[in-house]
Amino acid sequence: MLQSYDEAGTNGGIKNIIITPILGGVTMSGIDKRNKLTEEPFSYTITKKGMVIVYYDNKQIVMIKDKEAERLIAKINSAKDNAAEVQLLLAKITGNFKRGNEKLGKRKNN
């Protein structure tokens, strides 16, 4: 969602405009420098018990329950109109999951 622009200067009488998406007052370019969240890699489901299951590329990453799940559901509901903000919420709740812990499922052959 593009919400603001900055005039970067002129080029032969034509203004160069840089358009940056905004997320809750913070530009997404500062948070998501590689624009990975625009591809919407995260998805989620809310179970009947109130748990939130977060997926990355259709692989389950984390299950959130109790008070933390209630807070996340409230934030997701308030940000439903902005897909980038929902993606950022899901990215933050999963943490840095792609740094080492994905190797734990592999068996060691000794």
User: Rounded to two decimals, what is the model's pTM?
Assistant: 0.61
* Over residues 45-74, mean pLDDT: 94
| Dist. CA 20–CA 5, nearest whole Å | 6
- HSE-CB at 94 with a 13 A cutoff on CA atoms is 24
For 62-81, how does the pLDDT look when each residue is reduced to its tens digit (9 = 90+)? 999 999 999 999 999 999 88
List the alpha helices (DSSP H) in 35-101: 66-78, 83-94
pLDDT of residue 39: 84
For 5-20, how does the pLDDT look when each residue is reduced to its tens digit (9 = 90+)? 444 454 455 544 444 4
Q: Please compute Rg for the chain using Cα positions.
A: 18
